[in-house]
Chain A
């Protein structure tokens, strides 16, 4: 993914798009876009007029003028096609780089004989694998197909898909059992069961979407097309009725003028860019390493009201870390710290490691020969070490250590008990340490909130999106972290069905809910959510249930997805406004030009002081044509979304694209006219 460049117009892509612009002129393809289809008809009519003039017709103006009008219309069509083609080409290039990862690779297919798997391994091409087949992957092998690990554990390099170079661990059972075709096994060996039919993986679906083959119009796009068709119809009426109006005013109007007026008025700008905008939206999602199953999902993302986020990994870094040592009264701090380190020497959990890190003492300076390590168990809820000299150090939850201490008849120091309460109320986890059944002090473990996450939630709040934290913590801890991170609500001590219930409850209130998940037990909730983002590392069930897959396994990705969705809608809206607002200036250019011959007084309406009727009409059509390529970068990149509140955003866009859309063509047409007037 990292290989794809962000340049809008790569020469290779442009060449491909240019070729496509011509082949898209096929009326059967053109028909899907009613606005541009009418332009195509107009061009054909103009071609007829040129031939007519060649045959001796004199009332339609000079041949050169008619040829230029025909040419400009033709270029308008090409520009619109080019916009769509370049968006497709970019999407395809993106998809191709993904597809490269799954070129034919040899697969070690484990043949099944009857009901049993015999260990007969046959090397076949990856394309021959079917759903349900089982293959083997050993160190150095490239995984041939998407699948689920049924046996074994392996470290896998997923950089081909995610661009992330650090290897990840995947193992059978649990929520990290999914592997993706094209990634590489770095160590160990696994047995993988194929979960998709060839050609039906998410990636295949996505490729089909960006290539436009199976791209269905989203409901919103359909509604906009209806509105644009409405505008087109109005302008058909305006232009057709102008003929008898002209008859009444005893003004002959040339066919070139009619068609120019019509093409200028209909919303060609948005009509030409509409599908490019849609494709570019999905392309942007793909660039963010998110595979969507439909264009609709991206659009829905822009409307989300509620986001369900797991605490661990999303809001907090993931593991609790030791942040403080609090020795009990009368205990030397150094002494206490040493005891903490001793108790954690064999502790491989991230918490244990973080204690040693915090203590900042040399691990090797401790003599633990002959010592016995006590493992953490669910019953004792403590762990520790029995030293050779008979010193017993334990660390564990408050109540388990209290029991140990009480059994030995020792008092529990009050200030330590107090400290434990303080730590709990601050959202931390207290670990009490004892030596020979006497309390030494307490270690504070804290969830570390990801840096910058508050700002992201603030941004979401301004967008009108409510964030909900889902955590297994107790309500007290959950509340503290929720407040600190700035989420709007939380679900504490969450069980999988709690997520589901919360989603349903929000949806009943008419809200659109998104969630991210990876486990099989997340699958029902992922399916229930309006936007369900499954992590690529998640189980096949989770991926099947969601409507997007995040290749990076990054839980904060939802925020980016929301912005992509909003950008998609905004780009459509602003360009529609711009396109329609342009018509004001075009009217002022063309209408006086049509009637000035018979009604010289209409010169007063020629407020741009255009040179002649011919130059006015030409300038208007030329402006109409060149505005399309000028706006392609905007269509592909999308209008920048700023979370400043809906009304302020409307004001801003209305000013830029509405008012701008009225003013810019006045300037543009005048400038083109100054150029054109040299010849006409």
Chain B
């Protein structure tokens, strides 16, 4: 087999092999079962609980969970605004980076609490080390908040009638101390030993062969890189993210970092199987997500390795594939693979410029974010998937002549209303955002000329990508876009906020309402939800909703570009 493809296959296999035991471990953590880290970490948890005045055994209903979630996030949002707007005069700023403007600080704060980590600034010159540390803290917090919300839904899916769904702070702190922190430490150490800097010193200097003095930015990068990969955050230390040679030095670190992108999202599925004690259901979910993922990955790798037809026409050989915007140390296959893993999971870290992918690979990246639930972000990926399950259950229940029920709970008008709104939200934000930007640009092209480096179809893709990335809480960008302007900072900020919290509130509310309903035992007439047939149904629902909502937009962007290239 081709070494490049072998490397990619190995990465995926390794991820799944690690995710299965990790998922089980996470299930034990959330269920309060014994794990081998208990002895070491129980005192730490107790300290947090005591300091926060939290009673972990006090169970909450779904509304209390949401209040807890929103409160945590709001407090941290205010704190972040404060630090970023004053970082110029705060300590830990050896490179004397300036304070952020209000709109940029708003965008950045929202971006980090919403687990998006869309960066309209460049890390080296835009944030102080204190700012970086705060942002790193947020990468933990936002990931843990998403995971905790997801565990609330898992708890609600158990077969019983209850409004007691565990304690949010307990799930939240356990996500931090038992899962994110230990794995991050391991990953950070590996990265640090492989060349990623971990220091509080300012810029380093060296004199190049030509005799010029070159300043090299550095800082506490290894720690931040670990959590940005693990928590599907994607907010890099350096502007170039994981394409930067200090952030991702070698093919080996690339494997580690790429595994980390989808490790917890996949493990979360097995956690579901453990908590609700339905392994078959978990494998069905995993199967559907994997099929969707592979449908994006395989053609993308193929297209990137095949190269750009326009360059082939010029008579230039492309043995390495399309290498524009890619790092030679990773190659085209691993770059394409990263491109898809980072978009399907709402991670958003990049090791190649997505702007330079061939048109259809760009479309698959967009689709990954439009679906946003083939694995998806930590915790929130499954929450998005949950909405599709509810819709699929409803339609297929009708198709077999039975009032739809999921996990023994009947799905009625109220749940459908919430599901419809949440399913609608993502296309709404993306399409309306892009439409407004298109309108502004097309009616005043000179005033907004700085927005787009490439007009035409590609420019359209850039705008579409920016909003898709914001709405998917992904954070990667089609870098041709001049995005640090008030319009982009504020519009993307609003979209990130809505797209983060409504899709958490919706599924938690549905799960909470369902948990409160009477449990209907399974009979021979009940539609089993852990079968391949039902899996196909979910897949069809996802495909239809994504295809129907985004088909016209995609055909004006990447599809038109593709046909233009292949004429």
Contacts and interface: CB of A to CB of B under 8 A. Distances in A.
Interface stretch (B183-191, B205-213, B422-430, B497-505): B422-430
Contacts of B549: 234, 237-238
Given A248-B442, A583-B548, A602-B560, A649 B399 contact: yes
**Category for how many chain B residues contact A:** 35 or more
B31 to A, nearest CB: 25
A250 B457 CA distance: 11
A599 interface: yes
A617 to B, nearest CB: 14
Contacts of B75: none
Given A227-B391, A237-B428, A463-B524, A570 B400 contact: yes
A510 B521 contact: yes
A453 B132 CA distance: 76
B400 A650 contact: yes
A69 B383 CA distance: 42
A509 B520 CA distance: 7
Nearest to B517: A510
Contacts of B74: none
A604 B402 contact: no
A671 interface: no
A265 interface: yes
Given A464-B524, A647-B531, A565 B548 contact: no
A178 B411 CA distance: 40
Interface in A187-233: 219-220, 222-224, 226-227, 229-231, 233
Nearest to A235: B548
Contact of A601 (B398, B436, B544, B564): B564
A299 B403 contact: yes
B524 A461 contact: yes
A654 B424 contact: no
Interface string A621-654: 0000000000000000000010001110111011
B205 to A, nearest CB: 46
B217 interface: no
A31 to B, nearest CB: 19
A587 B401 contact: no
Interface string A155-175: 000000000000000000000
B528 A646 contact: yes
A303 interface: yes
Interface residues of A, number: 76
B523 interface: yes
Interface in B416-441: 416-417, 420-421, 423-424, 427-428, 431-432, 434-436, 438-439, 441
B52 interface: no
Interface string B63-76: 00000000000000
A566 B536 CA distance: 22
Interface stretch (A284-292, A363-371, A572-580): A572-580
A409 B567 CA distance: 113
Given A247-B443, A587-B551, A591-B555, A658 B540 contact: yes
B413 A223 contact: yes
A573 B397 contact: yes
B420 A249 contact: no
Interface in A236-265: 237-238, 240-245, 247-250, 265
B559 interface: yes
A504 interface: no
B398 A241 contact: no
Interface in A277-314: 299, 302-303, 305
A594 B519 CA distance: 50
Contacts of A463: 524-525
User: What's the dominant secondary structure at chain B's contact region?
Assistant: helix
A229 B526 CA distance: 27
Contacts of A226: 413, 416-417, 420
Given A226-B416, A227-B416, A566-B402, A241 B553 contact: yes
A495 B517 CA distance: 32
B552 A248 contact: no
Given A234-B548, A584-B547, A303 B395 contact: no
Interface string A556-567: 000000000111
Contacts of A305: 523, 525
A234 B427 contact: yes
A589 to B, nearest CB: 12
Contact of B435 (A240, A249, A511): A240
A577 B460 CA distance: 32
Contacts of A647: 527-528, 531, 533-534
A190 to B, nearest CB: 43
B524 A573 contact: no
B439 A574 contact: no
B534 A650 contact: yes
Interface of A: 219-220, 222-224, 226-227, 229-231, 233-235, 237-238, 240-245, 247-250, 265, 299, 302-303, 305, 461-466, 509-511, 565-570, 572-574, 576-577, 580-581, 583-584, 587, 591-592, 594-595, 599, 601-605, 641, 645-647, 649-651, 653-654, 657-658
Which 5 pairs from chain A and chain B are nearest by CB? Answer: A464-B525, A573-B398, A566-B401, A230-B420, A573-B399
29 contacts: A222-B413, A227-B391, A231-B548, A233-B424, A234-B427, A234-B428, A234-B548, A241-B435, A248-B438, A303-B402, A461-B524, A464-B525, A510-B408, A511-B521, A568-B401, A569-B402, A570-B401, A573-B396, A576-B395, A580-B544, A584-B547, A601-B564, A605-B559, A645-B524, A646-B526, A647-B527, A647-B531, A649-B401, A653-B400
Given A605-B555, A645-B524, 14 more contacts: A223-B413, A223-B415, A230-B421, A234-B427, A234-B428, A234-B545, A245-B438, A299-B403, A303-B402, A305-B525, A465-B525, A583-B544, A601-B563, A649-B399
